[in-house]
Amino acid sequence: MNPTSPSEIRPGLTVRGFTPPLHLHDFKLIAFDMDSTLINIECVDEIADAAGRKAEVAAITEAAMRGEITDYKESLRQRVALLKGVTVAHMQQVYDQRLQLNPGAAELVAACQAAGLKTLLVSGGFTFFTDRIRDRLGLDFTRSNVLDVQDGVLTGRMVDQPWGDICDGAEKRRMLLETCAQLGIEPRQAIAMGDGANDLPMMGAAGLSVAYHAKPAVRAQAMVAIDSGGLDRLLEVVQAD
């Protein structure tokens, strides 16, 4: 198959560069973006709603995910600054009342775990949410950003971590490769799923790249594009044995 020519094998499910089916046992790791991939919302936008700034923050998020803002770190700093004054209680409300796993997320994770794959959650979002999703799904590894909190209130800043300042596209790719090295596997044995421009670096490093209800630039470069249905539609392409 011509790698540049996508083929819709079923409605809303497109592949390029290979002929399905592949098999889960050929892979050892699956890496997920969180916001709008594993879960249904962009957490930063919903936190901003508590500050009355959702429209402003969401516009920056959309431009960043479409690849129209090239400096992801600066775009995230701008958005986090607008969260100043939001309480941790408001973030908990976002988690309890607005955040849901996307359709098929739990099923896909369970199938991968049953096949022996390790699971990685890499997000430009925040540990407040990634830690909860990690525990909820039993994921093995995470990397995301830490919001600075003083007396239960966001300061509008993030906290530097031992690995760096912000989890952007380059850090997602580095974490994928670092996890592969830690597991003693090749990057070609990894699957990477995402929806935004900051997912492209890790998707490009993985053996199989999957776009989930993604922005046009991401869909155009992915080996698998899921445009309708849940994340578990990947199992129509990469079969569990």
Q: What is the layout of strands, in order, in the sheet containing 141-150? A: 7-10, 13-15, 224-226, 208-212, 190-194, 29-32, 118-126, 141-150, 153-159
CATH topology of domain 11-40+101-147+157-239: Rossmann fold (3.40.50)
Q: What is the DSSP annotation of 46-110?
A: HHHHHTT-HHHHHHHHHHHHTT--S-HHHHHHHHHHTTTT-BHHHHHHIIIII--BPTTHHHHHH
pLDDT tens readout for residues 24-80: 999 999 999 999 999 999 999 999 998 899 999 999 999 999 999 989 999 999 999
Question: Would the pTM count as exceeding 0.85?
Answer: yes
The pLDDT of residue 122 is: 98
Burial 95-115 (b: 16+ CB within 10 A, else e): beeebebbebbbebbebbbeb
The pLDDT of residue 1 is: 31
As a whole number of angstroms, the distance between CA 222 and CA 129 comes to: 26
Structure tokens at 115: 């096949």
Closest of 170, 164, 168 to residue 204, by C-alpha? 170
As a whole number of angstroms, the distance between CA 155 and CA 88 comes to: 11
CB-based contact 145:168 (threshold 8 Å): no
Catalytic site residue from 26, 33, 71, 232: 33
33 given a catalytic annotation: yes
User: What is the block-wise mean pLDDT of the chain (241 residues), using blocks of 10 residues?
Assistant: 72 95 97 98 96 95 93 96 97 97 98 98 98 98 98 98 97 98 98 98 98 97 98 97 80
The pLDDT of residue 4 is: 58
Catalytic site residue from 26, 35, 96, 232: 35
CB-based contact 200:208 (threshold 8 Å): no
